[in-house]
Amino acid sequence: MRTSALWRDVRFWRFAGQAIAVIFVLFLLGFLWANLNRNLAQLGIRPSFRFLQSQAGFAIGESLIPFQSSDSYGRALLVGLLNSLLVIVTGIVVATLVGVTAGLARLSSNWLVRKLALIYVEVLRNTPLLLQLFFWYFAVFLSLPKPDNPVRWLGFNFSNNGITLPGGLQLSPEFSALLLGLAIYTATFIAEIVRGGIQSVPKGQWEAAQSLGLKPAQRMRLVIFPQALRAIVPPLGNQYLNLAKNSSLAIAVGYPDLYAVASTTFNQTGRAVEIMVLISLTYLTISLLISLLLNLYNRRVQLVER
Amino acid sequence: MTSKPLPRPSRSSAAIRHWLQRNLFNGWFNSLLTIGLLILIGWTATNLIRWATTQAQWIVITTNLRLILVGRYPVDQLWRVWTVLAIVLGLIGFWVSKGRGQKAKDRKIEEQERAGAEEQGSQEDFDIASPSSPVFLLSRLHPITLLPLAFLLILWLLGGGLGLPRVGTNLWGGLLLTLVVAIISTVLAFPLGVLLALGRQSSLPVVQGFSTLYIELMRGLPLIGILFMAQMMLPLVLPGQPNIDRVVRAIAGLVLFNAAYLAESVRGGLQSIPRGQTEAARALGFNLPLTLYLIILPQALRIAIPAIVGQFISLFKDTSLLALFALLELTGIARSILAQPQFLGRYAEVYLFVGLLYWAFCYTLSMLSRRLESSGGSNHSRHTTR
């Protein structure tokens, strides 16, 4: 029996490769952890989440639950989380509506509509969201007339005090700027996804729908769109995730979302590690939840084969 | 709702009328839509032009143009920025001309093959027989290896030292800082991204697990959180509480973030390489590192180029977040200009101009990537069918 050298054995290399990876990662984490402990000890900080119970001492502009500055940091962060969730959910709804409309407009038989949709997508997709948020907030909302003389459009009242919906619901200028900025930016990506999805439906489906005597709107709604959804839903989910993550730019327009409140908390308490852990876990949970819901929906729209 | 490729309007008036009827006035609904949109466009355009010519004060841009482009970089040292620009343009020119040359060579080989001179062509390509000889490896090195050299040269020119007067990063700003940060972060994140992509595709469960965990963690977090971590935590996790430059900290955050996204782009390329390529390489006696370096990665990266360019575009836009961490890149400098007392409230002018700069870069790049996609695709199919 011939024994081959150890280094010629694939099994040895498989084991060695994994062992090296484990040692490398453990060494790196240990190195960072040791430095962190040493540096924190030098600064006299002991990591602990007890600060969450102490009094926040700052006011929050808008809140879904009652909050005053004598409440705790923990409650302040909860207010921030709820504000984040509010803008994420409404943002997803508005972005989907605008995005699907723009995506259909990109395929319109009307040349002007097609070109306008193209300009919308190419201009807003190629400029930074943060800059757009600054623009919406400072150049649009804060430059609008005073609330007693608002700009009226389709039952909406626009003023430097935000948007008043037809039902009388008042949105703050910070929330309005963030919502519009997020939705209109994300919608450009959704529009391209919708266009691609519809174009991926074979031509025969159009012809078959036409030969069944369906009207153009019915063709789209009953035959083409359900099939296009199969190609649309997975990348659409990525855009929803992006929107959720981008909602953390709220701090740029002064909307008190989770990150903004956490940032204020950090400035007051100096607890970088704990706040980093809290923010990371929360955003990871939100991301996971969105992917989970989308996977469930995706299973429903995918083709069920015999 | 169908979109058929429509013929361009030709000169004759009948053809123009036909085109108008087909594209703007087919049916009462579209006619109404067209007229309504034309009115809306006219109204918007007149208002915009009236604003731009009478109300807007463009002096805020003309006075601050240098700030917007290079920040507070010393005026007497500006020649260094110009030199860097020349080097970058030279490199791009070299790369483009080399790409053209490569294409011409490919075409020549193809013609030779068609003429039945297959043996000649293949002999020319593989005249160095042993795949592991150092000469062969050197001959396969891409001119991309020039990049680190050019990279160091550019950093030296911008930052100074070694004979040149120092210009601290606190003086870099505007478009210059945006470009420097975006390019450095991509260059540094690229190797990390390739390693992570290979790790995620690896058959070793531990390596795959670590890579996947890192990629998914980074992709689940908002960039602003990672930049916060880089600004606040980086000095805490390094030995001796070093005083790290703010720009360096920002670049570290962008690299960690961007590597995860680049890894996904590269993975897309890796997944599109048929298994037969690996098997053929093994049959020829290549070991794993050589297979990856000579066979898999060149093909995978070529396929991934459009995705990588797309990633660069989004990183370029993402550098605007540094404005929230008190860096004066393009967005940050816009805010600091707006804080000058004589230009209070000139938001629209400044943000529109800065937006135009961002747009010009991103749009050019995305056009380029689309062209690469269409030309690279056909190139790829030729290689796989051969």
**pLDDT tens across A91-117, in order?**
999 999 999 999 999 988 888 899 999
Do B158 and B266 reside in the same domain of the chain? no
Task: Choose the final residue of a domain: B167, B183, B208.
Answer: B167
Rounded to whole angstroms, how far apart are CA atoms A276 and A263?
Answer: 10
Please tell me whether residues B297 and B347 are part of one structural domain: yes
Cα separation of the two ends of chain B: 40
Write phi, then psi, for B273 (nearest 5 degrees): -85, 125
Whether residue B161 is found in the same domain as residue B229: no
**Angstroms from B120 CA to nearest CA on chain A:** 37
Does residue B148 lie within any of the structural domains?
yes
- Considering the domain architecture, whether residues B252 and B372 belong to the same structural domain is answered as yes
Verify whether the Cβ–Cβ distance B223 to A21 is below 8 Å.
no
Q: Among A18, A110, A216, select the one facing B23 at the smallest CB separation.
A: A110
Do A133 and B350 contact (CB within 8 A), yes or no? no
- Specify the pLDDT at position B8: 58
- At A194, the amino acid letter reads V
* Domain match, B180 and B306 both: yes
Best A23, A36, A111 member to test B by mutation, with max B CBs in 10 Å, is A111
pLDDT at site A11: 82
Q: Which residue range(s) make up the domain with B159?
A: 79-101+140-167
**CB-neighbour burial class of residue A85 (10 A; exposed 0-12, middle 13-18, buried 19+):** middle
Check whether A201 has a pLDDT greater than 50.
Answer: yes
Q: Do residues A137 and A253 lie in contact, with contact meaning Cβ atoms separated by under 8 Å?
A: yes
As a whole number, the mean pLDDT across chain A is: 88
Please name which of A126, A154, A109, A78 lies closest in space to residue B314, comparing C-alpha atoms: A126
Q: In this structure, are B188 and B234 located in the same domain?
A: yes
B235 and A42 within 8 Å at the Cβ level: the answer is: no
What is the per-residue pLDDT for B241? 63
Chain-chain contact of B1 with A288 (C-beta, under 8 angstroms): no
Cβ partners under 8 Å of residue B343, min gap 6:
B60, B64, B337, B350
**Whether B157 and B189 share a structural domain:** no
Tokens 């980086």 locate to B234
Confidence band of A178 (pLDDT split at 50, 70, 90): very high
B154 lies in the same domain as B203: no
Q: What is the 3-state secondary structure (H, E, C) of chain B?
A: CCCCCCCCCCCCHHHHHHHHHHHCCCCHHHHHHHHHHHHHHHHHHHHHHHHHHHHCCCHHHHHHHHHHHHECCCHHHHHHHHHHHHHHHHHHHHHHHHHHHHHHHHHHHHHHHHCCCHHHHHHHHCCCCCCCCHHHHHHHCCHHHHHHHHHHHHHHHHHCECCECCCCHHHECHHHHHHHHHHHHHHHHHHHHHHHHHHHHCCCHHHHHHHHHHHHHHHHCCHHHHHHHHHHCHHHHCCCCCCCCHHHHHHHHHHHHHHHHHHHHHHHHHHCCCHHHHHHHHHCCCCHHHHHHHHHHHHHHHHHHHHHHHHHHHHHHHHHHHHHHCCCEHHHHHHHHHCCHHHCCCHHHHHHHHHHHHHHHHHHHHHHHHHHHHHHHHHHHHHHHC
> Distance (Å) from the C-alpha of residue A93 to the closest C-alpha of chain B?
20
* Confidence at residue B90, expressed as pLDDT on a 0 to 100 scale: 84
Burial group, residue B150, by CB count within 10 angstroms (0-12, 13-18, 19+): middle
pLDDT attached to residue A104: 92
Give me the residue from A32, A131, A287 closest to B351, CB to CB.
A131
Q: In chain A, which residue's Cα lies nearest the Cα of B241?
A: A39
**Which among A131, A247, A251 has the least Cβ separation from residue B331?**
A131
Burial class (CB in 10 A: 0-12, 13-18, 19+), B194: buried
Tens-digit pLDDT profile for residues A30-55: 999 988 888 888 888 787 888 888 88
Q: Of 2.40.30.10, 3.40.50.150, 1.10.3720.10, 1.10.10.10, which CATH number belongs to A54-301?
A: 1.10.3720.10
Q: Which CATH number goes with the domain that contains B279?
A: 1.10.3720.10
Same domain for B90 and B177, yes or no, is no
From A134, which residue of chain B is nearest by alpha-carbon distance?
B351
| Segment A255-305, tens digit of pLDDT | 999 999 999 999 888 888 889 999 999 999 999 999 899 888 888 877 666
User: Would you say B34 and A110 are in contact if contact means Cβ atoms under 8 Å apart?
Assistant: yes
Determine the pLDDT at residue B379: 45
pLDDT at B80: 87
**What is the mean pLDDT, run by run of 10 residues, along chain B of 386 residues?**
53 81 79 88 91 84 86 85 86 74 70 60 47 57 68 84 80 89 91 93 89 91 92 83 83 94 91 89 88 89 88 93 91 90 87 93 89 60 39
Say yes or no: B300 and B243 in one domain.
Answer: yes
Whether A109 and B223 lie within 8 Å, measured CB to CB: no
- Of the candidates A22, A109, A131, the beta carbon closest to that of B206 is on A22
Q: What is the pTM of this model?
A: 0.85
Q: Which of B224, B309, B337 to mutate to test the interface with A (most CBs of A within 10 A)?
A: B224
Please give the Cα distance from A212 to A218 (Å, whole number): 11
Residues A219-234 have a mean pLDDT of 89
Q: How many helices (H) and strands (E) does chain A have?
A: 10, 4
| For the ranges A54-68, A164-178, B305-319, the one whose mean pLDDT is highest | B305-319
CB atoms within 10 A of CB A263: 19
Q: Tell me what percent of the residues of chain A surpass a pLDDT of 90.
A: 46
User: Among the three residues B167, B184, B206, which one is the final residue of a domain in this structure?
Assistant: B167
Residues B226 and B159 in one domain: no
Phi, psi torsion values for B319, nearest 5 degrees? -60, -20
Distance CA A210, CA A218 (A): 10
Q: What is the pLDDT of residue B121?
A: 45
Q: Which residues of A touch B43 (CB under 8 A)?
A: none
Total of domains in chain B: 2
Residue B134 falls inside a structural domain = no
